[in-house]
């Protein structure tokens, strides 16, 4: 009986070692191809080292950088450059086109005694620029002066400008020509341009506007005296001579009304700065600027 029991145990052991049960290694080995065979690997049978590749393994690959990352050597920028921005070189002289027009002209006598001939100027430049006016009497090359225009860098420009008789080295006379042109520049560069000059002919009307002083009593010279323009009460007229403004009688070009002295009163003693002149047959002390008694 003992021998029979041993035989049964031995048979059971053999059956266990040779059978294929779901939990043993025989099933897994049957699914794995042999080394060197052409059969494909199952999806989970790849090399683990390739799945765990680090950042250094991507060097030289064609993979694109993730959104928001900046490639090495490429500077970061917040915004793309404006497509409408014009780059102006600072060391190259580039011509600038300037076209000047006059939209209107009229006499401005808002300030009595200061004649102003107002020009409404308009000009365009081919690039945004700042401007100034060059003004001359008869000849731009002989003598001129510049008028600053307060503006930003723009292409469309406008300026209301008043001409005066004392803006030149001499008072304009009938037949003279005032020349005006625009000089436009781009700050910080060598870019500049000039407009063609416009001309303002001095007609009798323009002359009367610029120089509103009695033509017979004025000497057509520049006025250099300080002070305001006196207000001349009729029959006095405003004249400019000896570098100053004066109220005078048109018949004499002085403060004397031209009357013959018939008054028997002794002449008054005039204080400094006043004149003794005949007036309505008597002698009186007057202010030489207004031809009126002081005070």
What digits encode the pLDDT tens for the residues 139-156? 999 999 999 999 899 999
Distance CA 117, CA 109 (A): 8
Q: If we measure between CA atoms, which residue out of 222, 257, 216, 264 comes closest to residue 239?
A: 216
With contact defined as beta carbons under 8 Å apart, do 102 and 120 qualify? yes
Is residue 213 helix, strand or coil? coil
Q: Is there a single domain that holds both residue 246 and residue 182?
A: no
Q: What pLDDT was estimated at residue 172? A: 92
The residue written with tokens 């059971």 in the block is 12
- Asked if the structure places residue 37 within a domain, the reply is no
Domain that holds residue 110: 98-210
113 and 194 inside one domain: yes
Tokens 């341009």 -> residue = 193
Name residues whose C-beta falls within 8 Å of residue 195's C-beta, 6 or more positions apart in sequence. Answer: 98, 99, 100, 123, 181, 182, 184
Indicate if 240 and 191 belong to the same structural domain.
Answer: no
Asked if residue 157 is part of any domain, the answer here is yes
Same domain assignment for residues 185 and 239: no
262 and 204 in contact (C-beta within 8 Å)? no
C-beta separation of 251 from 235 below 8 A: no
Domain end among 152, 182, 210: 210
| Residue at 137 is within a domain | yes
Cα 126 from Cα 140, distance rounded (Å): 24
**How does residue 184 score in pLDDT terms, banded at 50, 70 and 90?**
very high
SS3 at position 270: coil
Residue ending a domain, choose from 186, 210, 234: 210
Pair 103, 200 in one domain: yes
Position 289 scores a pLDDT of 83
Longest dimension (CA), the chain: 189
Instruction: Write the CB contacts of 177 (distance below 8 Å, at least 6 apart in sequence).
Output: 137, 138, 199, 200, 201, 202
Distance between CA atoms of 241 and 38, rounded to whole angstroms? 120
Q: Does residue 135 or residue 59 have the better pLDDT?
A: 135
CA–CA distance, 94 with 190 (Å, rounded to integer): 7
Q: Is residue 135 part of a domain?
A: yes
Q: Which residues pair with 185 in a beta bridge?
A: 130, 192
Which of 131, 124, 200 minimizes the C-alpha distance to 165? 200
Cα–Cα separations (whole angstroms), residue 110 to 38, 106, 107: 107, 12, 9
pLDDT of residue 30: 40
Tell me the CB-side half-sphere exposure of residue 159, using CA atoms within 13 A: 22
State whether 120 and 176 are in the same domain.
yes
Question: How does the average pLDDT of the chain come out, rounded?
Answer: 76
Output the domain CATH number for residue 114: 2.60.40
Selection from 76-80, 179-183, 267-271 with the highest mean pLDDT? 179-183
Q: In the chain, how many H helices and how many E strands?
A: 4, 11
Residues 191 and 243 placed together within one structural domain of the fold: no
Of 178, 210, 242, the last residue of a domain is 210
Cα gap 156→161, rounded to integer Å: 16
86: confidence class by pLDDT, cuts 50, 70, 90: low
Q: Do 219 and 179 belong together in one domain?
A: no
Looking at the fold, whether 196 and 219 belong to one and the same domain comes out as no
A 10 A CB-CB count for 173 gives 13
Q: Do both 206 and 222 map to the same domain?
A: no
């Amino acid at each position: 009986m003992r021998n029979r029991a041993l035989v049964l145990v031995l048979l059971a052991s053999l059956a266990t070692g040779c059978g294929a049960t779901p939990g043993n290694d025989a099933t897994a080995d049957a699914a794995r191809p042999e080394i060197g065979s052409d059969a494909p690997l199952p999806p989970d049978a790849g090399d683990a080292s390739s799945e765990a590749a680090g950042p250094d393994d991507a060097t030289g690959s064609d993979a694109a950088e993730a959104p928001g990352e900046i490639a090495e050597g490429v500077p970061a920028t917040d915004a793309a450059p404006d497509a409408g921005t014009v780059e102006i070189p600072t060391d190259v002289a580039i011509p600038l086109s300037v076209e000047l027009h006059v939209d209107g002209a009229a006499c401005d006598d808002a300030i009595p005694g200061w004649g102003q001939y107002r020009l409404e100027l308009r000009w365009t430049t081919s690039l945004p620029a700042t401007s100034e006016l060059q003004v001359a009497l008869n000849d731009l090359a002989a003598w001129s002066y510049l008028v600053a225009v307060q503006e930003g860098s723009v292409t469309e420009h406008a300026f209301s400008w008043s001409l005066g008789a004392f803006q030149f080295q001499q008072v304009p006379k009938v037949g003279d020509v005032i020349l005006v042109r625009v000089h436009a520049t781009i700050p910080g560069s060598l870019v500049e341009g000039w407009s063609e000059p416009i001309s303002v002919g001095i007609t009798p009307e323009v002359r009367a506007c610029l120089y509103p002083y009695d033509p017979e009593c004025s000497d057509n010279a520049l006025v250099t005296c300080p002070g305001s323009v006196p207000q001349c009460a009729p029959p006095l007229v405003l004249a400019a001579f000896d570098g100053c403004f004066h109220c005078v009688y048109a018949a004499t070009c002085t403060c004397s009304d031209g009357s013959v002295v018939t008054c028997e009163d002794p002449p008054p003693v005039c204080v400094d700065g006043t004149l003794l002149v005949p007036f309505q047959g008597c002698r009186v002390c007057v202010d030489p600027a207004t031809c009126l008694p002081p005070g």
